[in-house]
Amino acid sequence: MAQVFVTGGSGFIGQVLVGRLLGAGHSVGVLVRSEASAAKISALGAKPVRGELTEPLTWRNDVVGSDVVFHLAAETDVTADRERHELVTVRGTQAAVDAARYARVPRFVHCGSEAALLAGAPLVDIDETAPLRPDSEAAYSATKAVAEKIVLDANAPGFATVSIRPRFVWGPDSFLVEGLAAAAKAGHFAWIEGGRHTTDVTFVDNAVEGLVLGWQRGRPGQAYFVTDRHRVTLREFLEIQFEIYGVDVAIPDMDAETAAGQVPVPARWFLGQECTLRTDKAVTELGYKPVVEHAAGLDAVRNSVAVGRV
């Protein structure tokens, strides 16, 4: 059994990852900065480690002895300013890499994103040879690109780094889908150009499967897309989940020109463009395949919401 350290372990993907690791018998330490996060991690059965992500001196000694570091911490608010994204996503990633190298951890797995490749054009059936876009006008995308470059450039003998890139992670308690549903209920959501473009999505357990396989089998210095391998039409996919979350209002359409003046750039790209990703590399090199099929994932969301309403 391994000793594992996780940043971002109290988040949506992080909690599922921590649960998966604990279920496999591993010892798990998780970086936390608040009492609420510490309580959440303790309840899962992992060890909370208090510290500031961007100040590795406050937590790097707790990483010593780990077999792998999973780095999930990042700024997820796409409307946050550039300075905030630089602080959390870029400086935070550099700090995590520095702490892992200080502790002589042999393996570092980063949770990346297809957003690191977004700079205005749709992503259509692309693979991992598509370039990162640190020049993107969207701070979220640019800093995710810089963070992944930090990780992959750090790869060296004795310090293997891998980046796993899920797309649109969904599932029970998804803050993203819950946020979109809340916006729809409040009349603050519209379908951009009808919302009928094709997209890949990744159920949270499938994202975690990719992260674990990245640790176990990932080729050092490489990035891998992982998805449900079940492409959807964005509108149909969200309409099903909006119904589950009780959205009962008519959602208007918005043309691209109007969206350009009202919707922040990263959200406009996320909701208004095709995004289809090839997972051949993960399938071939990692042995990746989804552990939760699309229909089962929707059932899990339905059950979770139903329990929450009891």
What are the catalytic residues? 140
Residue pointed to by tokens 């208004």? 272
Tokens at 203, concatenated: 């159920």
Q: 18: Cβ–Cβ under 8 A, 6 or more apart, which residues? A: 6, 9, 28, 30, 41, 44, 46
Residue 210: its H or E element: helix 204-217
Question: Torsion angle, CA of 104/105/107/112, rounded to 10 degrees?
Answer: -100
Sorted by sequence, the CB contacts under 8 Å of residue 198 that are 6+ apart come out as: 231, 232, 233, 234, 274, 276
Cα 113 off chain centre by: 6
Phi and psi dihedrals of 149, rounded to 5? -65, -40
CA-closest candidate to residue 53, choices 6, 111, 13: 6
